[in-house]
Structures are given as C-alpha cells and as structure tokens.
C-alpha cells in the first residue's frame, strides 16, 4: 500500500496500530509511533530547545502546522540542527510503524503533520533503512522480545565495563520501564535505545528471558485524532505530554 501511495504521489497519513507515516506528494515527511519519542522529546529532553520555547512554538504556530518554521525563523534552533533531529525522529518512528504485525493499514487523504515541513524522504529509502535496522538488531542479539519487555539489570562484578551511554540505560533498567519509556526519559531515539539494550543483554548486563507475554499495541489517542481532526486537540496533548517529561 505504501508503494502504491508513493507511485500515485499521494498526500496524507498512513495509519497503523504501530503509528503513522505522513506523506506529501508520495514522499515521507514525518512519522510518529508510541514506541518512539517524538521530535518534541528529542528537541527538548535532548537539550536543543527549552520546554518554555517549545510551548511557545506550539501555542503560536501549532494550529497552523508551522512549528518547524517558527523555531528556525525565531532563532530557537538552526536549520541544520532541526533537520538532523527531524530525520532522526522520522527514521526512528518509521522503524516501528513498518514493523511486521503492525495491524491493519488505512490512509487519510490530505492529512498534514502538526510540525510542518522540514525535509522529505523517499518511501524506498525509508523501507530500506527500516529493513537494515531490523537486520542489525538481529545480528547484535537475536531476541526481539527485548524490544518491548522492561529490561532487568544483572549485577555481576565479572561483566565487561559498559560505556557511559550504556550506563544511562542501565540506571533506568528497573524491570518496570519499557524500552520506549527509557528512550523518552533520556531524550534519545527509540531504535538507538534498542541497540544499547541488545548489546547490554549480549554482554550479560541485562537478563535475556526465554519468552515474555505478547504485548498488544493499542492505537493511541493521537492516531485516532489523525483519522478525524488532528490539529488543536492533538497539539494540546503533545504539550501536556511534554510537561510530564520535564
């Protein structure tokens, strides 16, 4: 379906239980998934934009879907920084949206993303990168259930030392936080957090259970909003969710 939409040069939102891909003229312009921290988390928790500046941008430019333009025009972030963060969020969320077993797919013609235009990416490029990432994780440590189960730390003095980045993940591996929650807490892409988790598990720092109960992903409220009228109510929820992280 995604390939057909690209061939037709479609504009709108492709919805699955695992998230949403936004298209403009057949190219991917944004992606969102409940398993991946959104660009608002990458920018604010990641330290590029303050929470106050983000709320200002949402209030003034959100209803017009021009948050990206507002941040650049008002000198809140450089164009280069914004593009890097945007591409990181896009590829990160797309990995989860296009995961096998993502549920039924539907398309809402004409839907646009609240953040505004930054850069487009070809559908085939997104698909190729998603497949590459899936293979990369499998080569690191072939236990995909670690991607959804709350990681559990193992304490063993004989284990090899973890990197500073990995120690940040270990500090939050309490058996209750999921990988996506850890990623949001750290302000990092979800896929990068999965890489750290698989490496830590392969090195023995995290438990690798033989099996875990299946996790059901429920279409979040913002997916339902896209199917109806996404703009104002969605932006207020984004602002509220951001405040909960700060």
Radius of gyration of the chain (CA): 18
Domains of the chain: which residue ranges? 2-131+216-245, 137-202
pLDDT at 210: 76
Q: Pick the residue with more confidence: 241 or 114?
A: 114
**pLDDT tens digits along 152-177:** 999 888 999 999 999 999 999 999 99
pLDDT at 242: 53
Q: Give the whole-angstrom CA distance, residue 4 versus residue 6.
A: 5
Closest CA to 99 of 138, 130, 141: 130
Average pLDDT over residues 19-36: 97
Give this prediction's pTM.
0.86
**pLDDT tens digits along 183-227:** 999 999 999 999 999 999 999 999 998 765 444 444 455 455 555
The CA-atom distances, in angstroms, between 167 and each of 23, 147, 164, 170, 206 are: 37, 18, 5, 5, 11
**β partners of residue 153:** 206
């Amino acid at each position: 379906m995604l390939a057909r939409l690209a061939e037709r040069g479609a504009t709108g939102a492709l919805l699955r239980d695992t998230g949403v891909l936004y298209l403009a003229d057949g190219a991917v312009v944004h992606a969102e998934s409940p398993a991946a921290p959104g660009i608002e988390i990458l920018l604010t928790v990641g330290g590029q934009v303050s929470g106050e500046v983000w709320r200002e941008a949402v209030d003034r430019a959100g209803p017009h879907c021009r948050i990206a333009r507002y941040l650049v025009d008002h000198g809140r972030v450089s164009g280069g920084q914004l593009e890097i963060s945007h591409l990181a969020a896009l590829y990160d969320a797309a990995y989860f949206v296009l995961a096998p077993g993502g549920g039924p797919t539907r398309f809402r013609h004409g839907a646009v993303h609240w953040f505004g235009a930054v850069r487009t990416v070809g559908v085939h490029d997104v698909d190729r990168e998603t497949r590459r990432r899936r293979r990369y994780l499998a080569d690191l440590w072939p236990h995909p259930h670690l991607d959804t189960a709350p990681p559990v730390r193992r304490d063993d003095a004989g284990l090899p030392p973890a990197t500073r980045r990995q120690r940040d993940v270990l500090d939050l591996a309490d058996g209750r936080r999921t990988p996506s929650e850890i990623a949001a807490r750290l302000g990092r892409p979800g896929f990068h957090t999965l890489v750290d988790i698989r490496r830590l598990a392969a090195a023995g720092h995290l438990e690798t259970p033989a099996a875990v109960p299946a996790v059901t992903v429920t279409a979040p409220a913002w997916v339902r909003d896209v199917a109806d009228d996404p703009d104002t109510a969605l932006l207020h929820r984004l602002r509220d969710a951001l405040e909960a992280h700060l």
